[in-house]
Amino acid sequence: MRQLIARISTPAATALIIAINAVVFVAVHIFGSWSEMLLGLFSLPLSISDIAVRPWALLTYMFTQYAPFHLLANMLLLYFYASPAVSAVGQLSSRRLWVVYLLGGIAGALAALLACRITAYPSDGLVGASASVLAVMAYTTLRLPHIKAPLVFFGMVELRVLTLILVLLVIIATGPSAVDTQAAHAGGFLAGVAFALLLKQRTPRRVTATPTKSPQPIAIPTPAPSTLPDIPDNEMLDMLLDKIRRSGYNSLTEEERARLQQLSQRIAP
């Protein structure tokens, strides 16, 4: 099973998550009297006794959206932060995408449950992929904080700035009185942060061994002249990512792919 998941590309995994959310959205809207029952089965009850009766809700709620705008906003953000260009440089594999998505949803559920118990907030239940999407946003932002993304009216801005703006918009749109939803958002985002930091700590550092003997001289072939412009690394990365967004990864030349791999190793810990 692990080998099968590892062979699935990140764009395919992203499309599968979006497809599941879309199918569930259609299911809870087109079956008439069955829609309320399905929504009740898939939504997350914020009481321990109800969760014990419906434990599957810890997973199903993060694939269930009821409002069309809620579905559209979450899926657009997921696609952007798990896009081919970002995942290629930020090392967001299909397996890692699923881990971050599910971890964010579960962390969001637990945070909402804890917040409701502490504040005695009367929640009817929780649905939505926002906690999972916020986890993906946090993970990608920590892996690639300086990568630039387009922002309407402002041009290209760093990803960390765009993420900060989007998080503030999510907080404002949710409203301060929605204790369960705000807690779920915070739990999902912090789960993405924690997972990115954990991977950073586990990444082994490269150690250069000191040779004990004098190396024998070897003939080094003269490298072929580069066809790429001599520009700073961050500008080169922006140029390559723009080309991927316009024409796809396959449009890169062998030299451009090699340069992209070198830059990704410098940026990602």
CA nearest neighbour of 134 among 65, 62, 202, 68: 62
pLDDT at 82: 83
- Predicted confidence at residue 210, as pLDDT, reads 47
d(CA 188, CA 137): 10
Q: Residue 217: its pLDDT value, please? A: 56
- The residues pairing with 156 across neighbouring beta strands, listed in sequence order, are 150
The reported pLDDT for the residue numbered 203 is 58
Predicted local distance difference test score (pLDDT) of residue 4: 40
pLDDT at 21: 94
Q: Look-up: residue for tokens 């907030």?
A: 121
**Which residues in the chain land under pLDDT 70?**
1-10, 32, 84-91, 150-154, 203-231, 245-246, 248-249, 264-269
What is the reported pLDDT for 182? 92
Digit-coded pLDDT (tens) for 154-204: 677 788 888 898 899 888 888 877 888 999 999 999 999 999 898 877 755
Identify the CA nearest to 127 among candidates 39, 53, 236: 39
Residue whose structure tokens are 């009817």: 124
3-state secondary structure of 157: strand
Rounded Cα–Cα distance for residues 251 and 240 (Å): 10
- Spatial separation of the C-alpha atoms in residues 248 and 228, rounded to whole Å: 18
The pLDDT value recorded for residue 1 is: 41
Return d(Cα 19, Cα 178) in angstroms, integer: 28
d(CA 180, CA 124): 10
Q: Which two tokens stand for residue 81?
A: 């932060």
Please give the pLDDT value at position 251. Answer: 77
**pTM for this prediction:** 0.72
